[in-house]
Amino acid sequence: MESSQECIYRLRIGMFVRFFITIFLIVYVKKHYYKSEYILLILIGKILFTDALDSIFTLFYKGSLKDCWNPCTGLHYYQSLDKILDLISYILIYFLLDCNPIIGFFILWRFIGVILFSHTKNRKWLVPFFDFIKEYLAYLYFFGKNNSHLPFFIIGKIGFEYYLHIYRLSKSRCLKLDNSD
């Protein structure tokens, strides 16, 4: 990808901002909302908000790819670092929620996939080792500890991960530009 160094520079700024805002928001939520009945929804909002921060500095950078929306996010560099920052956020949430063992399992499961993805540069590893923390927090909020519907949510998430990392990638010229994937 042309100008990938410019992308990497901009992505580093975004990742740095995302990391510190994540820490700030987790501390803020713990201090002000720890006992709130809405803490799970607040944490989902925090995850969605901070996940969007890392690429904001590349949002209007196109380089020579005028017809691609934010081509910097297609780089393996971005994808790997994004997954690692997700894990850091999830670990903080794990401790905030008193070390919920199911959240711990899903973090460990995703960690294995992130390691395999980062090492092999093959996004296919992200499908079986799906990211399920946001969905599990929503599940806990709506269904509590009743896990009878959980398998349906997991199957749906695996389908979404397949769409996101396999199907969409095969159809998008912009996402194929980084040869390291």
Express each pLDDT in 96-108 by its tens digit. 999 999 999 999 9
Answer yes or no: are the C-beta atoms of 82 and 18 closer than 8 Å.
Answer: no
- For position 172, what pLDDT does the model report? 66
Q: Residue 52 falls within a domain, yes or no? A: yes
- For position 58, what pLDDT does the model report? 85
Domain of residue 8, residue span? 4-171
pTM over 0.85: yes
C-alpha span between 19 and 8 (Å, rounded): 16
Q: Residue 178 falls within a domain, yes or no? A: no
Q: Residue 181 falls within a domain, yes or no? A: no
Question: Greater confidence, 29 or 66?
Answer: 29
C-alpha span between 53 and 34 (Å, rounded): 24
Q: Per-residue pLDDT for 2 more than 80? A: no
DSSP-assigned letter for residue 69: S
Q: Per-residue pLDDT for 60 more than 90? A: no
Q: Residue 180 falls within a domain, yes or no? A: no
- For position 42, what pLDDT does the model report? 97
No. of H helices and E strands in the chain? 7, 0
**Count of structural domains, the chain:** 1
